[in-house]
């Protein structure tokens, strides 16, 4: 990890371009648990919107992801990878729920048909 006041100097000195994200949230203990959501959709028409993920473990604990600020574009048979974060880490996941939203109040409601989905923990890649 990097100290918040020194991260920029450490990364700028690296010779290759570097992308950075910080595992922080506004809730105590202020850490985020990051997952990569890999989705292949089945819709014939292009859909643009936001995905919210809810995971549940075998004991019934449930945690919902923070919604991404940037909309994703979903096309038929195209993979989309979305970085999503949770305020709590669940070890053994028994259920995954997705909610698709276009964040518009006017216009038709659309469904997003999922052909394939993979959720991978970035904090614990062995899961």
The tens-digit pLDDT sequence of the chain (127 residues) is 555 666 666 666 666 555 655 666 666 666 788 889 999 998 889 988 888 999 999 999 999 987 667 788 999 999 999 888 888 888 889 999 998 888 776 766 778 899 999 999 888 888 8
Residue 52 lies in a domain: yes
CA 27 to each of CA 53, 92, 111, 113: distance values in angstroms, whole numbers, following the listed order:
18, 22, 32, 33
* Number of neighbours of residue 43 by Cβ within 10 angstroms: 16
pLDDT tens figures, 105-125: 676 677 889 999 999 988 888
- Contact yes or no for 110/48 (Cβ under 8 A): no
- Cα–Cα distance, 27 to 24 (Å, whole number): 9
DSSP 10: H
Kindly report the pTM of this predicted structure. 0.70
Residue 6 lies in a domain: no
Number of domains in the chain: 1
- Contact yes or no for 43/113 (Cβ under 8 A): yes
Could you list the residue range(s) of the whole structural domain that residue 43 is in?
Answer: 24-121
At residue 24, the pLDDT reads: 67
CATH number of the CATH domain containing 30 = 2.60.60.20
- Cα–Cα distance, 117 to 39 (Å, whole number): 5
Residue 31 lies in a domain: yes
Q: End-to-end alpha-carbon separation of the chain, Å?
A: 21
């Amino acid at each position: 990890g990097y100290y918040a006041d020194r991260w920029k100097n450490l990364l700028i000195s690296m010779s290759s371009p570097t992308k950075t994200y910080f595992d922080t949230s506004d809730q105590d203990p202020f850490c985020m648990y990051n997952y990569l959501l890999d989705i292949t959709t089945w819709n014939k028409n292009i859909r643009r919107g936001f995905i919210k993920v809810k995971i549940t473990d075998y004991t019934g604990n449930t945690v919902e992801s923070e919604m991404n600020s940037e909309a994703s574009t979903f096309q038929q048979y195209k993979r989309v990878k979305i970085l999503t974060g949770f305020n709590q880490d669940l070890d053994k996941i028994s259920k995954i729920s997705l909610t698709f939203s276009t964040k518009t109040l006017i216009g038709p409601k659309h469904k997003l048909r999922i052909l394939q989905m993979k959720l991978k923990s970035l904090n614990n890649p062995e899961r």
